[in-house]
Amino acid sequence: MTRGIWTRETVVLMLLAAYVPLALFWLWYGGTEAAQRLGLAGLVLAFWNLVFLLARAQPISLAMAITALAIAMLAPEGLGVFRLALGISFGAVMGELVFGGWGRNVVNPATVALSFLGFGFPGYPWPEFLAPVAWATIPAALIGVATGAMPAGVVTSAALAAVGAVASGLLPPAVLPAAGIVLVLLVADPVTSATTLLGRWLNGALYVGLVTLFALGWQGADPVQYAVAAALLTSLAAPVLDEMALALWYAKRRRRHGQN
Amino acid sequence: MIDFTFRSGLTPRFPSPSPGLPEKDEVITEEAGLRASAGRAPRVSLDVEEGALVPQGAPVARLRKSPDVCFVAPMPVRVARIGLMQGHRLSEIVLFREAGGDVIRHDTSQADTAPALRHLMQVAGVWSWLGRRPFGGMPRPDEQPGAIFVMATDTTPLAPDPRQAIAGQEEAFGRGLHALTRLTDGPVFVCQQPGPALFDSAPNAGRLRTVSSGPRHPQGATGLRVHALFPATIERPVWDIHAEDVAQLGTLIATGYLPMRRLVSVGGEALREGRLVRTQPGADLRGLTHRFAQPGPRVILSGSPLDGHAARWLAPRHRQVTVLPRQAAGKPPHWLVAALTRSAMPKPVIPNAALDQAFGAALPAMAFVRALGSGDDDAAMKMGLLSLLEEDVALADYVLGGEAQLPEILRAMLDRIRTEFAA
């Protein structure tokens, strides 16, 4: 019997293809230090995936490469190996593996790990991104949306909302590089973002709204810090957004067809 | 006129030689098999014994609980073998063609009243051509549908065009449609591709409604049309019937003879040439394909490449035969690999654009798949589960690589809901 291709690993491969430009630019400008962080994140994630493969027969997914890239790019700098490994372990295990692996998780493991590092070890500087790395988010988003692996509604509505927020002077343009990188790496994750049409549009807009709010009111925080915090809150709110969209859809159908 | 030609759905491509035009001559296979639709086999009582001669259209078996509903011979036959399972459940009845036999004429003098029409359809064997939602299968003999869907479009890959099937029978089709309006108090929807009207809706203009849908699958899938236009519920079931069957019902009412022919497409990768033939229901699939298939091992499916199943006889409501090369069974995985991967079935579904399209944007695809996967009956019912059958989620299952096992999960959920509500 012939079969379609959109299995879990195909989606992962499409996402990885989307992240290639971003990762290449980041590695090019980050040098060996960036490569070392990526290697460490990959190693810790591979260890925990192996543990869960052996203990609970949970198949390993290439998605851990995406998680490794997101953590390596966005984690605070100068943490040292031990703290970084601790944060990655917490994120991978509590954010993804205990739920049954990638595809069954409710929050992005990288978001959990980054929030853990940010709240657990305040005072370490968050990374800053050079302009070329930030520009690389645009091909990443385009490839992701074109292959259908990234939710188009989330990316589009976030882009539109960001344009609106910058134009109205609420969102300082200096925040945009970090917000864009967090958008493609954490918020536009197909598993943990909203899944209904309306929910996706709300999801993207909510993320930009939260970033704007933090930029206005959170004194002394770095752009990456509040982008990650906004990503965490957005992914926690995604099921609520879906429920809202579904409730509207049910109501519309009830009006048209009577019951159900 | 309601328009549904929105841009959604997919066009999955399956390699197949072109079927060309319908063949001039009818192709009646030497053998035929009577079997029930998919699902639990019905209990039957037999009208004939092995070796008996049966004219075309005469009953061979009937439902034990409602003896009016008959399974009839699709051609003049000699009964070769009767296969019953435990409890008189119909497995299959094998029939051999008998040259020069008779054709039964039914009494149609009172077919303009609803009970008589119902009786005529049941006795003549048209009843088993009806489908019902929720839960699928044949309608109960006394059931009142909320609406009837006449499918004059079929977007399944490699399916024959129903317009071609009823070409030249427009009058009979119209007569059949008007007869169907007597079976329900609700509307009768005719789902078709955009194009000229297939029938004259007077004098039932208010109840016969034409619905256009686009060319991509699943825009013309029965379940999604039902879901969009008249959701089936447990109290208010919905019937569906193919346009060609409606035309034959029209002929039956006019002449008393039920034509036992249907336009069937034979396609698939393992064929040298495709075919579009008029053959009998329950036709022998090997008879239809053996001179046209490529050499080598192959598997013959009754139904489309999406949802077909390997079979010897054409299933009651199927109009497609698919011949695929038989894939050699691969080497079993290493025991350790098997042990480490087996527990994670069915695999998680990752939302993607292809999945959204596979439900034709008619329902929140990912939320529905998650409700199916987690066994959330209530949410799935609210999203329209009761309008759907396995064939409607076959495309989504295909798109997801078959790892999500959607048709199996859907069937299990429907069975669970049926037992719950029957209690």
Would you list which residues of chain B are within 8 Å, Cβ to Cβ, of chain A? Answer: 12, 14, 230-231, 233, 305, 324, 327, 339-344, 347-355, 364-367, 370, 381-384, 386, 398-403
Kindly report the nearest CA distance between residue A50 and chain B, in angstroms.
11
Model pLDDT for residues A27-38, shown as the tens digit of each residue: 999 989 999 999
Average pLDDT, chain B: 88
CA nearest neighbour of A77 among A108, A110, A134, A36: A36
Kindly report the nearest CA distance between residue B281 and chain A, in angstroms.
25
Contacts of A152 in chain B (CB under 8 A): 353
Query: Is the confidence at residue B161, as pLDDT, over 80?
Result: yes
Q: Which of B204-218, B228-242, B287-301 has the lowest mean pLDDT?
A: B204-218
Q: What is the pLDDT of residue A86?
A: 95
Contacts of B374 in chain A (CB under 8 A): none
Q: What is the pLDDT of residue B216?
A: 87
What's the CA dihedral at B3, B7, B8, B14 to 10 degrees?
A: 110
Query: Is the confidence at residue B3, as pLDDT, over 70?
Result: no
Which of the four pLDDT bands, split at 50, 70 and 90, describes residue B6?
A: low
Kindly report the nearest CA distance between residue A168 and chain B, in angstroms.
33
Model pLDDT for residues B297-325, shown as the tens digit of each residue: 999 999 999 988 899 999 888 999 999 99
Which sequence spans correspond to the domains of chain A? Answer: 8-257
Q: What is the pLDDT of residue B13?
A: 86
Task: Verify whether the Cβ–Cβ distance B348 to A100 is below 8 Å.
Answer: yes
What is the secondary structure of A210-238 as a DSSP string?
A: HHHHHHHH-TT--HHHHHHHHHHHHHHHH
| Mutation for testing the B interface, residue in A5, A6, A60, A105 having most B CBs under 10 Å | A6
Task: Verify whether the Cβ–Cβ distance A257 to B403 is below 8 Å.
Answer: no
What percent of chain B has a predicted confidence (pLDDT) above 70?
97
Task: Verify whether the Cβ–Cβ distance B341 to A8 is below 8 Å.
Answer: no
A246/A252 Cα distance (integer angstroms): 10
Query: Is the confidence at residue B58, as pLDDT, over 70?
Result: yes
B298 pairs with which residues across the strands? B325
Q: What is the pLDDT of residue B329?
A: 80
Contacts of B348 in chain A (CB under 8 A): 8, 100-104
Q: What is the pLDDT of residue B2?
A: 46
Task: Verify whether the Cβ–Cβ distance B367 to A242 is below 8 Å.
Answer: yes
Residue B341 parent element (H or E): helix B335-341
Considering CB atoms only, which of B231, B382, B402 is closest to A3?
A: B402
What's the CA dihedral at A177, A179, A184, A190 to 10 degrees?
A: 180
Residue B322 parent element (H or E): strand B320-325
ipTM above 0.85, yes or no: yes
Coil, strand or helix: which one is B89? strand
Considering CB atoms only, which of B12, B231, B403 is closest to A257?
A: B231
Which of the four pLDDT bands, split at 50, 70 and 90, describes residue A1?
A: low
Which of the four pLDDT bands, split at 50, 70 and 90, describes residue B337?
A: confident
Instruction: Give how far the C-alpha of residue B218 lies from the chain's centroid of Cα atoms, to the nearest Å.
Output: 15
